[in-house]
């Protein structure tokens, strides 16, 4: 995967890394930066860094290396710009879909389907908490108040629901 | 926040991190961990993807049960029927009283008819104020709500309120009460 002078990585190899890891990296960066635009910027910077110094990464830990570099890029970006907190929904879903490849869109649709199926299997009270927190963007305190349930109960329902949803998402791997 | 977390605990922390629900101290600690721990980074990515998928869903397929404050149609319909029946009985009573009073002087009859109409309208309003009286106690604590249209005074009651002093029921050819505008011109 390295070029003849062994000081730079083969761009094709970086392309392959991008195809394999960019979607997860982008999600990670959105989680850190709470902004789709900044996440895209950090992702671009991370792959620019990969072109420069990707040859220092070990083949077996490319993914971890990319995540680490992306995180440092995100932190640098955050220091430069004042990042306003966005809601999960706006940060995760409010982004433009135009830049996505057909493969990315297909994967996203598959993820949606799996999550939808997993949500349908949840007990009603857990499903409702997930929906109110993520879709309706209510705080846990508001949810507790509206459902007339203790805050601890609401948090427990959310934790249990997340565990099940993650299990479902992990099943893709 | 412990560094050594079970996967479920890590997922939970990651979710609270992306949701902005960690304290500043916990955020700082978690971000230190993100610099070092690939599992934590993966958990953040996974939490965002999960939230993204949920946020992109439509509410309808989930068939969520109504939350507090939503109307219970069965209860509302039952209460409205009871209220309507009560008003119908009051109307019949008022008409009988009206006819009896029509044998007296014209001014006195008109006065009594107007009193009856006022009573009727007041009773209607009171019956709607008291809808919860007939609500099932075990079907949630949401107050019954309804649109203005649903609780509008029906035309037959307005017609009754406009009955003239002779006690004659001015009805439309098809047997229904005449429109209010028509009654007002009579």
Same domain membership, residue B82 and residue B52: no
- For residue A94, give the nearest of A41, A139, A36, A133 by alpha carbon: A36
Least confident of A107-111, A162-166, B102-106: B102-106
Res A148: pLDDT: 95
Res A111: pLDDT: 78
Same domain membership, residue B129 and residue B85: yes
Chain A: closest CA distance from residue B152 (Å) = 30
Same domain membership, residue B79 and residue B54: no
Res A52: pLDDT: 85
A166: contact with B, CB 8 A cutoff: yes
Same domain membership, residue B54 and residue B14: yes
In chain B, alpha helices (H): 7-18, 24-36, 38-55, 73-101, 106-129, 155-161, 180-185
Burial of B160 (0-12, 13-18, 19+ CB in 10 A): buried
Chain B residues in contact with A20 by the CB 8 A cut-off are: none
pTM of this prediction? 0.58
Burial of A50 (0-12, 13-18, 19+ CB in 10 A): buried
Q: Is residue B67 part of a domain?
A: no
Question: Where is mean pLDDT largest: A78-87, B82-91, B135-144, B154-163?
Answer: A78-87
| Residue B66 clears pLDDT 90, i.e. is over it | no
Counting the structural domains of chain B, the total is 2
Burial of A63 (0-12, 13-18, 19+ CB in 10 A): middle
Supply the angle between the helices A62-80 and B24-36 in degrees, to the nearest 10.
Answer: 140
| Span A26-72, pLDDT tens digits | 999 999 998 888 899 999 999 998 888 877 777 768 999 999 999 99
Same domain membership, residue B179 and residue B94: yes
State what percent of residues in chain A have pLDDT above 90.
42
Residue B20's domain comprises: 7-62
B177 forms bridges with which residues in the sheet? Answer: B171
Torsion region of A149: left, alpha or beta (phi above 0 gives left; psi -120 to 50 gives alpha): beta
Res B54: pLDDT: 85
Same domain membership, residue B46 and residue B22: yes
| Span A139-172, pLDDT tens digits | 999 999 999 999 999 999 999 999 888 887 776 5
Q: Which is more confidently placed, B164 or B31?
A: B31
Same domain membership, residue B140 and residue B78: yes
Whole-angstrom CA distances from B40 to A165, A172, B7, B134 are: 17, 19, 9, 55
- Within 10 A of B49 (CB to CB), how many other CB atoms are there? 25
CB nearest A27 (choices: B49, B56, B57): B49
Q: Is residue B1 part of a domain?
A: no
Res B55: pLDDT: 82
Q: Is the dihedral of CA B164, B165, B169, B170 positive or negative?
A: negative
Same domain membership, residue B174 and residue B120: yes
- Cα A109 from chain centroid (whole Å): 15
Same domain membership, residue B80 and residue B58: no
Which of A92, A97, A108, A124 to mutate: most B Cβ within 10 Å?
A: A92
A122: contact with B, CB 8 A cutoff: no
Same domain membership, residue B89 and residue B47: no
Chain A: closest CA distance from residue B95 (Å) = 48
Q: Is residue B84 part of a domain?
A: yes
What was the ipTM of the complex prediction? 0.81
Chain B residues in contact with A34 by the CB 8 A cut-off are: 18, 20
State what percent of residues in chain A have pLDDT above 70.
81
- Within 10 A of B20 (CB to CB), how many other CB atoms are there? 14
């Amino acid at each position: 995967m390295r070029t003849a002078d062994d000081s730079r990585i083969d761009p094709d190899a970086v392309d392959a890394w991008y195809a394999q890891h960019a979607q997860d990296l982008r999600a990670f960066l959105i989680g850190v930066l709470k902004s789709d635009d900044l996440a895209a910027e950090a992702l671009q910077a991370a792959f620019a860094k990969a072109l420069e110094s990707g040859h220092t990464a070990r083949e077996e830990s490319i993914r971890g290396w990319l995540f680490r570099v992306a995180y440092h890029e995100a932190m640098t970006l955050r220091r430069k710009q004042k990042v306003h907190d966005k809601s999960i929904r706006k940060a995760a879903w409010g982004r433009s879909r135009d830049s996505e490849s057909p493969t990315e869109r297909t994967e996203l649709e598959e993820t949606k389907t799996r999550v939808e199926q997993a949500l349908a299997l949840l007990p009603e009270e857990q499903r409702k908490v997930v929906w109110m927190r993520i879709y309706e963007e209510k705080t846990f305190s508001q949810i507790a108040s509206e459902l007339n349930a203790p805050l601890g109960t609401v948090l427990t329902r959310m934790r249990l629901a997340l565990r099940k949803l993650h299990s479902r998402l992990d099943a893709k791997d | 926040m412990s560094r050594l977390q079970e996967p479920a605990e890590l997922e939970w922390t990651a979710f609270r991190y992306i949701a902005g629900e960690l304290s500043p101290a916990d955020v700082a600690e978690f971000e230190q961990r993100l610099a070092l721990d690939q599992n934590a980074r993966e958990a953040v990515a996974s939490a965002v993807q999960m939230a993204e998928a949920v946020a992109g869903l439509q509410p309808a397929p989930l068939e969520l049960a109504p939350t507090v404050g939503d109307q219970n149609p069965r209860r509302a319909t039952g209460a409205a029927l009871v209220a309507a029946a009560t008003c119908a009985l009051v109307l019949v009573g008022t008409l009988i009283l009206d006819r009896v009073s029509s044998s007296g002087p014209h001014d006195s009859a008109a006065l009594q008819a107007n009193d009856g109409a006022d009573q009727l309208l007041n009773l209607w309003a009171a019956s709607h104020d008291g809808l919860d009286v007939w609500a099932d106690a075990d079907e949630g604590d949401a107050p019954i709500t309804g649109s203005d249209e649903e609780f509008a005074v029906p035309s037959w009651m307005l017609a009754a309120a406009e009955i003239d002093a002779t006690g004659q029921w001015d009805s439309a050819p098809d047997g229904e009460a005449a429109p209010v505008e028509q009654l007002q011109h009579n």
